[in-house]
Amino acid sequence: MSRRPPPSSNIAQNPALAVLFILAATVFIAATTLLAKALGTDALGPALHPLQVSHGRFLFAWIAIVATVAALRPRLTWPDWSNHIARTVCGWGGVTLMFAAAALIPLSDATAISFLNPVFGMILAIPLLGERVGPWRWLAAAIAFAGALLLIRPGAEAIQLGAVLALGAAMLMGLELIFIKRLAGRERPLQVLFVNNSLGLVIASLAVIAVWHPPTPAQWAGLAGLGVAMACAQFCFVNGMARADASFVTPFTYMTLVLAALYDLVIFDVMPDAISIGGAAIIVTGAALLAWREAVHRR
């Protein structure tokens, strides 16, 4: 393993292929929330604790990524351990809270609130990265947060708790974006996935000890599917982002919201109501405005 950082990879820009990768990622991401909901409720057996669901996600994703690394044998360099550890702790915490939220609220609501993570990333970049934020990006953040407040639905205790958990997940994943930015360009994508999932598996294995109990065969299958789907989503997302500008591919990530609502309707017979649709539309509007301003800022 070399300690010297690799040169920047020159991946050919291919917008059409980037869109296909991103759309594939949305299919897998929506599938992870569906499986998390099935595992966190009694759909596949006695409900599993979110920490156990999160452990299964990291375990089987790690197995899939290790198999890929063994097959491709990429050149590995010395990791930036401090940023990797910080990124993994935030990612593990965000995923665990999201899985807990998915068991309590409609998948469309949980997915919509998760789109706040770039907004949190923008806000946290001010003190942590020294970035300057103009009025347009503050307006985008305000719009997105207004949608989140709508989805929290004060007065409905269980749904309010689920929405707050999803909001916490978005905040942690927004903080994770800060450390992803610090790692960008320093290490190859496959190495980043390998290190992230290896560290995540260690953290998740320690956290699950107190709540672990033997899953049913159906739950084992669900956990395996969850982990593999997450690994595939990460692979597709990283490759999509590498082949086109973020401002071009970001709008296609909103397909996750449509797929999550569709999965919820078909599998759990949950139809999004007017508040769900309205809150999601407001959040997507704010997130889209933020993506546009990020593109203008880079230019």
pLDDT for 7 equals 43
What is the tens place of the pLDDT at every residue in 165-211?
Answer: 999 999 999 999 888 888 866 888 888 889 999 999 999 999 999 99
Kindly indicate the confidence band of residue 101, based on its pLDDT and cuts at 50, 70 and 90. Answer: very high
Q: How far is it, in rounded angstroms, from Cα 28 to Cα 26? A: 5
Residue type, 4: R
pLDDT for 222 equals 96
**Domain tally, the chain:** 1
240 lies in some domain: yes
Q: How far is it, in rounded angstroms, from Cα 293 to Cα 299? A: 10
Q: Is the pLDDT of residue 103 over 80?
A: yes
pLDDT for 294 equals 72
pLDDT for 167 equals 93
8 lies in some domain: no
207 lies in some domain: yes
What is the tens place of the pLDDT at every residue in 25-41?
Answer: 999 999 999 999 999 99
5 lies in some domain: no
Q: Is the pLDDT of residue 157 over 70?
A: no
9 lies in some domain: no
Check: CB of residue 4 under 8 Å from CB of residue 77: yes
Mean pLDDT of the chain: 87
1 lies in some domain: no
97 lies in some domain: yes
What is the tens place of the pLDDT at every residue in 213-241?
Answer: 999 999 999 999 999 999 899 889 878 87
Kindly indicate the confidence band of residue 112, based on its pLDDT and cuts at 50, 70 and 90. Answer: very high
Choose the most confident range, by mean pLDDT, from 166-175, 252-261, 263-272. Answer: 166-175
The residue segments making up the domain with residue 251 are: 15-298
3 lies in some domain: no
Q: What is the DSSP string of the chain?
A: -BSSPPPPP-PPP-HHHHHHHHHHHHHHHHHHHHHHHHHHTTSSSSPPPHHHHHHHHHHHHHHHHHHHHHHH-PPPB---HHHHHHHHHHHHHHHHHHHHHHTTS-HHHHHHHHTTHHHHHHHHHHHHH-----HHHHHHHHHHHHHHHHHH-TT-HHHHHHHHHHHHHHHHHHHHHHHHHHHTTTS-HHHHHHHHHHHHHHHHHHHHTTT--PPPHHHHHHHHHHHHHHHHHHHHHHHHHHTS-HHHHGGGGGHHHHHHHHHHHHHH-----HHHHHHHHHHHHHHHHHHHHHHHHH-
Find the range with the poorest average confidence among 3-12, 50-59, 133-142, 243-252: 3-12
